[in-house]
Structure 1
């Protein structure tokens, strides 16, 4: 029976023209070829890792961003300061009083996903709000957006939600040449509290300043021991350079890398989730700050790294049952990185 090939950035050449090692001369790959190279699909992710490693009762710890923040705070892990939590439609009318004189903040759904519904206010022009992407919003626009969040427009399952207004993080200067109109973030995927893969997501003009791959951001893999970038993907195509600035995506050193990995392992342990993604931003003054965690982290991290997750997860699964001690986690990180 003939089977369709899968279009993937792990095949063919990069957008810059350089040849890749897995499937040269092609922009697609057969499913069997991807499996042979350790690329994991959503069914295996869910069946072998998410469902087995993550107790359903613990999902609210990551689905509710305010609860995630509380858990971080108990562990001393930095998070953006929370200014407001709006839960009732009647409170939306008072937002203008709170915002008077405030120039920077972030509005996000309490139980959103994939970056939907997030508005980053980066300045003011008279009574209006200016977003990080340059869009101008009136107070009425912001109130409408808050009401949409409360109504569940961006929440998981469309359930009524609350709007969280929090501190805007100041982008670390190391990202100035590879981020357009917004703040990059770093995703670390952990299994049994061991980091197995990482990537940095960089805003572009197409993503309107958001570090969201679904909206056109670019991502690069991050080496687990050195914290340096490699690979790259944008709009499901392999790239070697940022599409707007032309700056190479290779060998960018992520600041405070060891601190970031330690915070990721600490949070995964506190969440009691065996398979989890943790998202960080790098603040110019504070260093790594946790944005959120995800019990169902996506698989695009494989494209950014141009490597599959399956062999790394299988290596961690081969460890003896029970918690993996911190010293052994560090040994495993080095083992996984050497296999890259």
Structure 2
């Protein structure tokens, strides 16, 4: 009886379950032949650059054990950089180098790392221990994003990112993911990062969720997470909407980062985005997706320009004014 009532309550809130996400959205809107476009970060990055979408600059790639010896040449002009698996998932295998110290490297957390440790880590990436399916992979070395001062106040060590769910080119939900001490500076909710809902119309932060519990302050910085406005929000929404045109994937998670110098950048794309965004938003994805699907029916398959799709989403999914006012006062 309890679970029956719970399911009814969730349906009434328009909450999407994992089976519904898989069957009605991922299988329906995402052709499997298109998955390689987003599962391989190197391919995604090159495709985005060709389309004029801003991404963190790629310094180089290493695909073989023999190629590991070229690492010094790839990074010799850079004091900081990021090493990540091209086909990784969930933030696993990412190593952030924040500075150099004589012949050593310093991680974002302050740990001193030897060249041999870097090479060993890259060897693990190539062997596939972090890749989807455990297949052999490539190590990607790229520009280290540096967060804005606004985000530094509500984040611990790492760089926050923005996840936007896009259905057929229409943004439907957004959240800010904030690293914590527990997540070791990674913006990964499963590892202990905070999810903060975003008002789609304004980019204003709402309440936070940490391990599925509602919170008002960051556990490490003690600063409130609500009532802040994400800069360049219109650009963020338009960038996310363009990723549908870029890939052809109809149900897509777009991950953005906000660099203090270059502004919004597309970090990666996800053809199987998770459902925790509903907790951060305190609103159901199903309800929002159905609004977009009704719009698509009315347009009889006609694709509208990016600006019109974003305008529709902002109008339909704006958080009520009084709610935002309460967040700012708090």
With normalisation by structure 2, the TM-score equals 0.91
Aligned match for 2:159, one of 143, 162, 183 = 183
SS of alignment partner, residue 267 of structure 2: strand
What is the Cα deviation at residue 99 of structure 1? 3.5
* 1:47 alignment partner in structure 2: 23
SS of alignment partner, residue 61 of structure 1: helix
Aligned match for 2:105, one of 114, 124, 129 = 129
* 2:328 alignment partner in structure 1: none
Using the TM superposition, name which of 176-185 and 122-131 deviates more: 122-131
- For residues 242-271 of structure 1, the C-alpha deviation after alignment (integer angstroms, 9 at most, x for no partner) is 111111111111010001111111122111
Stretches (4+) displaced over 3 A: 96-102
- For residues 161-184 of structure 1, the C-alpha deviation after alignment (integer angstroms, 9 at most, x for no partner) is 101000111211211210111111
Change (3 A) 1:273 1:323: farther
* 2:226 alignment partner in structure 1: 250
Q: Is 1:322 aligned with 2:293?
A: no
Aligned match for 2:122, one of 146, 155, 162 = 146
Distance 2:108 2:7 in 1: 39
What is the Cα deviation at residue 148 of structure 1? 0.7
What is the Cα deviation at residue 101 of structure 1? 5.8
Distance 1:272 1:131 in 2: 37
Distance 1:339 1:253 in 2: 13
What is the Cα deviation at residue 126 of structure 1? 2.5
Contact 1:232–1:240 (8 Å) recurs in 2: yes
Aligned match for 1:194, one of 156, 170, 174 = 170
Contact 2:165–2:173 (8 Å) recurs in 1: yes
Distance 1:209 1:2 in 2: 38
Paired residues, what number? 316
- For residues 198-247 of structure 1, the C-alpha deviation after alignment (integer angstroms, 9 at most, x for no partner) is 00111111111111111111110111110100021112211111111111
* 2:190 alignment partner in structure 1: 214
SS of alignment partner, residue 30 of structure 1: helix
Q: Is 1:280 aligned with 2:256?
A: yes
Contact 1:187–1:279 (8 Å) recurs in 2: yes
What is the Cα deviation at residue 160 of structure 1? 0.5
Contact 2:171–2:310 (8 Å) recurs in 1: no
Distance 2:319 2:14 in 1: 12
Using the TM superposition, name which of 229-238 and 46-55 deviates more: 229-238
What is the Cα deviation at residue 150 of structure 1? 0.5
SS of alignment partner, residue 317 of structure 2: helix
Q: How does 1:43-192 map to 2 (within 5 A)?
A: 43-100=19-76, 102-192=78-168
* 1:334 alignment partner in structure 2: 314
Q: Which runs of 5+ in 1 are unaligned?
A: 6-28
With normalisation by structure 1, the TM-score equals 0.88
Q: Alpha carbon RMSD of aligned pairs, Å? A: 1.8
